[in-house]
A and B are shown apart, each in its own frame.
Chain A
Amino acid sequence: MSKFKKKNKTKENIPTSALPDIIFMLLFFFMVTTVLRENEMLVEQKLPQATQLQKLEKKSLISYLYVGKPKNTALYGTEPRIQANDVLIGTKDIVLWVNQEKDKLSEVERDQITISMKSDIEVKMGPIADIQLELREADARKLMYAAVGKVD
């Protein structure tokens, strides 16, 4: 009892057999939580910063409009354009697009449709005001100016 016996050769290596399981768990977490972008961006997207951000609860009610300078300037020019789903549309097509988006929703949710406008910081207020006017025309009055949190 009093004698401390010299331990014979403790195993020095850490058991790593559980490591793959841990990593796989991480992997599955990321795979489950990520949403793959379903449409390719045709316009530049650098979102403005803001502090008073709010989150929307029901994602199914959101439709996205992307506004910005086209990436392919040779084909579409340098003026800001509107992208809905995966095509560039003109300002006049917004009413039609809103109605198509509304048709995808059930009847009770139709007037709750929220447009998330993801606009590039380079865009001027002119095109934005035109879009807002068209959205009012289409009676999709809930609008969200998409922005990212401000980092000081």
Chain B
Amino acid sequence: MAGKRGRMSQEVNAGSMADIAFLLLIFFLVTTTIASDKGLLTVLPPKQDPNTPPPEVPLNERNIFNILVNANDQLLVEGEPMNNTENLSAEVKAFILNFGRPNEEATALYNSLPESLKAQVNRDPKSSDHPMAGGAVVSIKTNRGTSYEKYLEVYDQVKRAYFEIYAERVGLTADQYRALSGRTAAEKELTDRGKEGIPMAISIAEPDKIGGN
């Protein structure tokens, strides 16, 4: 050994370098939380002027899909109690696409729908007239004591109904439709074509005061 000293290998022992880097990597993995900016987008109604009461929009009872959630998180959908939200989006979808009494514009809209959506039209005279503005409104009314979790669950299901309709119109799945960013002209065109004529009419009523704080 002693005689070899002059030709000692020059390279640094890099074997433990990997361990050090691993340690750093694991430290960063553990300490970081990946920020997720995902959620349900809404646009709140404009603020009310106390001097001018909101304009009374005459809406027929059949054009409103009522969802009530009480302080015990129990659901009342169109007057019927509902145990879970599994079938809610299907019911909302059937309500929106009812075309009970379409006017001229709504008939044109109906004719533009793909066959798969036309097949879902019930034409029930007791349900909504048409999906255009003023024709079908989904109303969610909560209580001040309703949990935020339940409210979001219901809201999520109603949005799902709309997104499924939009996506079906442009021949995408709902996931693909929601992922459209609108950054390119083609994506924006798809987004607009999906919701053209069918506004997302979700009305969130002021919660009533019982059972909350």
Contact = CB atoms under 8 A, between A and B. Distances in A.
A86 interface: no
B167 to A, nearest CB: 11
A146 to B, nearest CB: 4
Nearest to B32: A34
Interface in B56-106: none
B212 A143 contact: no
Given A124-B212, A126-B207, A51 B160 contact: yes
Nearest to A17: B14
Given A124-B144, A129-B207, A48 B28 contact: no
Contacts of A120: 148
B3 interface: no
A64 to B, nearest CB: 9
Contacts, number: 160
Contacts of A124: 144-148, 212-213
A50 B39 contact: yes
A54 B212 CA distance: 30
B148 A48 contact: yes
Contact of A126 (B36, B145, B152): B145
Q: Majority SS of interface residues in chain A?
A: mixed
A129 B212 CA distance: 11
B146 A53 contact: no
* Chain B interface extent, by class: 35 or more
B22 A54 contact: no
A121 B213 CA distance: 16
A27 interface: yes
A142 B41 contact: yes
B86 to A, nearest CB: 12
Contacts of A83: none
B47 to A, nearest CB: 4
Q: Considering residues B152, B153, B163, which has the most beta carbons from chain A within 10 angstroms of its beta carbon?
A: B152
B38 A53 contact: yes
B110 interface: no
A10 interface: no
A20 B160 contact: no
B1 interface: no
A4 interface: no
24 contacts: A16-B15, A23-B18, A27-B24, A37-B33, A48-B152, A50-B39, A52-B163, A52-B174, A53-B40, A54-B41, A54-B178, A55-B38, A122-B147, A124-B145, A125-B151, A125-B207, A127-B213, A129-B144, A132-B44, A136-B48, A141-B45, A143-B42, A145-B152, A146-B36
Please list the 5 inter-chain residue pairs (A to B) with the smallest Cβ-Cβ separation, ordered nearest first.
A126-B144, A23-B21, A20-B17, A126-B212, A34-B32
